[in-house]
Structures are given as C-alpha cells and as structure tokens.
C-alpha cells in the first residue's frame, strides 16, 4: 500500500505541474465539456434545460466538475488516482501493473484533458473488479455510473451482464433499478440521444473509420491504434511478448468488447481505452515472472523516459521520430517524440478572450469559420461563459447560410483550418473563399496574430 500511495503522489505531482504550466486553450471536445461544467456552476434553476444543453452527453461528469469550481481542470487527475487504485485491486494488489497503466501515453495525456473516457475507464475497471469478486451490487453501481458518463458506457458491461443469464430474477430486479437510475436522463434528453445515434457519430467518419466488415483493415483498426498510439510500438511489443506468461483472466471480455466496437461504425482510439487496465495487469504479471530483474528496469526506464520527454519536452527537443514502413499497419514510429499522442505543455497565449472582448454587442450572433484545435466554435463557446457573455450566440460552419450573423471570425488566406469532420470541409472552404472575395461588404473589427504564425480576423457583417 505504501508503494501505491507513493506512486500516486508522483503521478499526481506530474499532472499538477503540467496543468500549471500549460496555457493552451482547450480543443474541440474538451472545450465543449468545460462549457457544460460552467453551465452547471452557473445553474439558473431550470434543471431540464440544463440537461438538454449538454450536447447529448450524460450529466455525471458535469455535475462532479461543477462541484470543483475553478479546480475543475484537475477532475481527470482525481479519476486517474481512482483508476490506479482499481488496477491495483484488479491485479491482486501488485504495484507493477499500476505503474505500467499510468505510463501508457494515452492514459497520462487524457488525464490532463477534460475528456470523458478516463472516467469511463475507471468505472469499467472497478466493474471488472466487482465482477471477479462476485459483488453484484458493486457491478450494478459501476454500470449506472458508466452509463451516466457516456452514452456508450453500458456496452462494456454487456458481456459481464450476459454471464447472469441463469439468474433471470436478478436481471429483472437490477434492470428495473438501472432504468430508474438512468432512465430519467433518457427521458429528458431523448431528442439529443436520437440525433447522436442516427447522425454522424453513428455513421462513422469516412476518411478515418474503416467500416467494411469484409476488409481485414477494419478488424485490425483498433489493434493498430493500440500498437501505434495507445501504448507506442516498443511498449506494445513488450506486452505481446511477456503477457503470455501471466494468467489471463477476462480475456474473453476483452475479445468481445473489441469485436463490438469494431462492428460499430464510428471509431475512436478512446473507445478501447477501457481495455487498457487488463493490458497493464497482464503485462505486469508477465514482467514479474522474468528472473532477470534488470529487464524490468529497462522497460520501466524506457516508459518513464517517454513520460518525461513527451510531457515536458525534455531532455530532447521535439520532434524526434524513427519510422519504418510495414505492410500490416503502415508506418511504425518506433521513436515518437512529437505532439501526438501526447501533447507537451505550451505557454503561448491565444486571443480567444480578446476576440470576445472586442465584440461591441453581447446580444448578437457570431459565425466561427476558423476551426483549429485552439480556436473553434466549441472553444469560443466555453470562453463566452468564462467571460460572462451568456447572451452571445456562437455557431459553427454548419449554420453558414442558415442564419443571419452579426459578426464573423475567419482565418486569413494563409491559415488553414483543421476540419473537425470531413463533411464540413467543403462548406468551410466555400465560406472562406466567398467572404474574402467580398471583403468590401464587411467591416474589420480586429486582426489577431496567432502563436503559430497565422492570423484570424473578426468581421462585422
């Protein structure tokens, strides 16, 4: 237990240091979630409208963040701590799997961002632990909490629930409890849920998500993300070699979840994050069986070096990459000191708050054509609440041509936006071209230099 507490202190201090140094604006999803937390903190008394304003996401993470006030950026650090304790319990109180889990690149990167997947992973790992201990009530509570974090949270529990098929009474009773605990949110938010399930998220992103189940690329997609990004090639290769030595409890659960998310059209490397606690446990058990302990030291030394280098850009200046092409999974970055999948902290100040401060009229509509990780409609919607401009309407390019806008935020011709979804690429390019070709019809309110060398312009329509 002392080793666990000591390691938790080290990892927590690393996150606190990183978060205190980083000044970068939150990106698309992170900004949307922070905006929802601010709405909870500014709750005006209409609970139903509050729930409906969460973009179709369940409310639990927003309520928890709302309780933390200005410390909400540390919420995922708290979930990381809870997750490390869960891995410790699942690994029969062995510390090595805990260390490995916390040093997986995707885990420590997301623990510093306001994304929902780490919290979901925590409830899943505790659900697995309660299932192994035959603690049915604990499993039910984790299922409820997971379902109130993300819409797809219940999917990870379906294989575990299926093991109760010989206990129909328990399934019925617990099912009714689950419906009471979660159903209220479905009832209030059914329109957003329906839109989410039948919209873009349900169809997949054509440029990035392989969807043809008859192609082998679809079936190795999540393995590719696991190998290249979630763990990194060297760490993943070590896992594939040593994990065979460990006792593989719940291997069938991992396979079923992998298959389910492969069949689902919309794919993201975060969707298989809840599988990583088991990966850490099996890898830790396998390494513990190695008689030459210096090998374990080399593995941990490599992972700690990656943690420091990728997080704090020290002692080697990024980017440094060593890449070889492969037939099966494409280019493999054996050495990957870059900003993906782990972003270093940045001290640059972006002009988001300055842009909103220069708007002369709060009761107006702003079209945000600019779309990068640092400046987009989600990020500016977060800053509008942070700066108190509650009545300002901010819209993305999906409303271009559908609404009359008072102001427009547009990049200069040399600054390229990063389209959030490929379906928005064409209308965004058309809007930028149309506005600059008719710039005489607009009044320039402000021009803002960006830390990356570009420029964004605020126009009055």
- pLDDT tens string 122-131: 999 999 999 9
Average pLDDT, the chain: 91
Give me the pLDDT at residue 291, please. 85
Burial of 449 (0-12, 13-18, 19+ CB in 10 A): exposed
CA separation, residue 163 to residues 75, 120, 142, 170 (Å):
33, 21, 16, 12
The residue whose two tokens read 């599988």 is: 275
Helix axes 276-288, 95-102, angle to 10 degrees: 130
- φ, ψ for residue 408 (rounded to 5)? -135, 135
d(CA 413, CA 436): 8
7 — pLDDT class (breaks 50, 70, 90): very high
Give me the pLDDT at residue 421, please. 58
| Whole-structure pTM value | 0.93
Please tell me whether residues 237 and 357 are part of one structural domain. no
219 — pLDDT class (breaks 50, 70, 90): very high
209 — pLDDT class (breaks 50, 70, 90): confident
Structure-block tokens of residue 8? 């938790």
Give me the pLDDT at residue 191, please. 79
Give me the pLDDT at residue 31, please. 96
Q: Residue 178's closest CA among 148, 215, 206, 202? A: 148
Please tell me whether residues 246 and 299 are part of one structural domain. yes
Please tell me whether residues 375 and 232 are part of one structural domain. no
Is residue 45 assigned to a domain? yes
Is residue 405 assigned to a domain? yes
- 320 bridge partner residues: 337
If one counts the domains in the chain, the total is: 2
CA separation, residue 15 to residues 337, 354, 361 (Å):
19, 28, 39
Give me the pLDDT at residue 244, please. 65
**Contact partners, residue 347, CB within 8 Å, separation at least 6:** 21, 22, 23
Mean pLDDT of 67-96: 96
End residue of a domain, out of 307, 337, 367: 337
Give me the pLDDT at residue 422, please. 57
Beta strands 407-411 and 455-460 are antiparallel
Give me the pLDDT at residue 353, please. 94
Q: Which range, 218-227, 382-391, 427-436, has the best average confidence (pLDDT)?
A: 218-227
**Contact partners, residue 445, CB within 8 Å, separation at least 6:** 358, 359, 360, 407, 458, 459, 460
Please tell me whether residues 171 and 288 are part of one structural domain. yes
Q: Residue 372's closest CA among 413, 416, 334? A: 416
Top pLDDT among 190 and 88 is at 88
Look at residue 402 and tell me whether its pLDDT is greater than 80: no
d(CA 86, CA 126): 6
Look at residue 89 and tell me whether its pLDDT is greater than 90: yes
End residue of a domain, out of 337, 360, 391: 337
DSSP 8-state code for residue 318: S
Give me the pLDDT at residue 189, please. 84
d(CA 18, CA 22): 6
Give me the pLDDT at residue 131, please. 97
Is residue 153 assigned to a domain? yes
The SS3 of residue 185 is helix
Percent of the chain with pLDDT over 90: 69
Dihedral sign computed on CA atoms, order 272, 273, 278, 281: positive
In the Cβ-directed half-sphere of 192, how many Cα atoms lie within 13 Å? 19
Structure-block tokens of residue 202? 């349900």
Please tell me whether residues 371 and 230 are part of one structural domain. no
Burial of 148 (0-12, 13-18, 19+ CB in 10 A): buried
Structure-block tokens of residue 128? 């697995």
Please tell me whether residues 380 and 250 are part of one structural domain. no
Q: Residue 344's closest CA among 17, 90, 34? A: 17
243 — pLDDT class (breaks 50, 70, 90): confident
Look at residue 204 and tell me whether its pLDDT is greater than 70: no
Look at residue 85 and tell me whether its pLDDT is greater than 80: yes
Length of the chain: 461
Give me the pLDDT at residue 419, please. 66
The residue whose two tokens read 């006792």 is: 247
Please tell me whether residues 327 and 425 are part of one structural domain. no
Please tell me whether residues 327 and 373 are part of one structural domain. no
Please tell me whether residues 300 and 371 are part of one structural domain. no
d(CA 307, CA 231): 11
Is residue 347 assigned to a domain? no
End residue of a domain, out of 311, 337, 363: 337
Contacts 24+ apart (CB under 8 A), 77-82: 77/12, 77/15, 77/16, 77/19, 77/111, 77/112, 79/111, 79/118, 79/119, 79/122, 80/11, 80/12, 80/15, 80/107, 80/108, 80/111, 80/118, 81/8, 81/11, 81/12, 82/122, 82/126
Please tell me whether residues 231 and 285 are part of one structural domain. yes
Give me the pLDDT at residue 404, please. 85
Q: What is the pLDDT of residues 407-456, one digit of tens each?
A: 999 998 887 777 665 567 778 888 888 889 999 999 999 999 999 888 99
Structure-block tokens of residue 340? 């993906």
Please tell me whether residues 97 and 127 are part of one structural domain. yes
Look at residue 51 and tell me whether its pLDDT is greater than 80: yes
Q: Are 14 and 102 in contact (CB under 8 A)?
A: no
Q: What is the pLDDT of residues 264-317, one digit of tens each?
A: 888 888 999 999 999 999 999 999 989 899 999 999 999 999 999 999 999 999
d(CA 279, CA 321): 25
Give me the pLDDT at residue 202, please. 60
Please tell me whether residues 284 and 383 are part of one structural domain. no
| φ/ψ bin of 453: left (φ > 0), alpha (ψ from -120 to 50), beta (otherwise) | left
Is residue 343 assigned to a domain? no
369 — pLDDT class (breaks 50, 70, 90): very high
Mean pLDDT of 163-190: 93
In the Cβ-directed half-sphere of 193, how many Cα atoms lie within 13 Å? 17
Q: Are 394 and 384 in contact (CB under 8 A)?
A: yes
Domain that holds residue 272: 2-337
The SS3 of residue 327 is coil
Give me the pLDDT at residue 259, please. 96
Give the DSSP per-residue string, 226-246: IIIIIS-HHHHHHHHHHGGGS
């Amino acid at each position: 237990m002392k080793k666990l507490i000591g390691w938790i202190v080290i990892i927590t201090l690393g996150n606190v240091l990183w978060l205190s140094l980083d000044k970068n604006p939150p990106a698309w999803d992170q900004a949307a979630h922070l905006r929802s937390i601010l709405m909870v903190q500014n709750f005006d008394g209409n609970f139903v409208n509050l729930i409906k304003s969460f973009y179709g996401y369940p409310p639990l993470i927003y309520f928890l963040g709302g309780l933390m006030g200005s410390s909400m950026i540390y919420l995922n650090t708290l979930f990381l701590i809870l997750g490390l304790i869960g891995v410790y319990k699942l690994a029969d109180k062995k510390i090595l799997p805990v260390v490995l889990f916390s040093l997986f690149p995707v885990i420590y990167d997301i623990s510093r961002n306001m994304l929902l997947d780490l919290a979901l992973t925590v409830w899943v790992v505790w659900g697995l632990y309660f299932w192994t201990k035959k603690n049915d009530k604990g499993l039910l509570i984790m299922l409820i909490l997971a379902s109130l974090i993300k819409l797809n949270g219940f999917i990870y529990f379906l294989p575990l629930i299926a093991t109760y098929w010989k206990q129909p009474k328990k399934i019925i009773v617990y099912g009714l409890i689950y419906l009471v605990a979660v159903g209220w949110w479905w009832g209030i938010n059914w329109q957003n849920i329906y839109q989410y399930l039948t919209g873009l998220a349900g169809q997949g992103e054509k440029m990035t998500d392989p969807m043809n189940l008859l192609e082998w690329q679809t079936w190795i997609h999540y393995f590719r993300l696991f190998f290249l990004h979630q763990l990194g090639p060297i760490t993943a290769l070590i896992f594939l070699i040593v994990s065979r030595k460990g006792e593989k409890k719940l291997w069938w659960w991992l396979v079923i979840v992998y298959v389910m998310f492969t069949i689902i059209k919309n794919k993201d490397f975060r969707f298989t994050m809840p599988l990583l606690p088991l990966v850490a446990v099996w890898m830790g058990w396998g390494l513990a069986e190695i008689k030459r302990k210096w090998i374990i030291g080399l593995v941990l030394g490599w992972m700690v070096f990656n943690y420091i280098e990728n997080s704090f850009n020290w002692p080697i200046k990024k980017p440094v990459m060593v890449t070889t092409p492969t037939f099966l999974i494409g280019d493999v970055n054996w050495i990957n000191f870059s900003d993906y999948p782990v972003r270093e902290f940045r001290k640059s100040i972006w002009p988001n708050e300055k842009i909103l401060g220069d708007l002369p009229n709060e009761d107006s509509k702003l079209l945000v054509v600019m779309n990068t990780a640092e400046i987009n409609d989600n990020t500016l919607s977060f800053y509008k609440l942070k700066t108190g401009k509650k009545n300002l309407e901010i819209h993305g390019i999906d409303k271009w041509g559908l609404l009359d806008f008072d102001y427009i935020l547009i990049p200069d011709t040399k600054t390229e936006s990063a389209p959030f979804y490929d379906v928005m690429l064409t209308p965004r390019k058309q809007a930028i071209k149309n506005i600059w070709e008719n710039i005489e019809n607009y009044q320039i309110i402000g021009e803002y230099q960006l830390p990356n060398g570009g420029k964004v312009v605020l126009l009055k329509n």
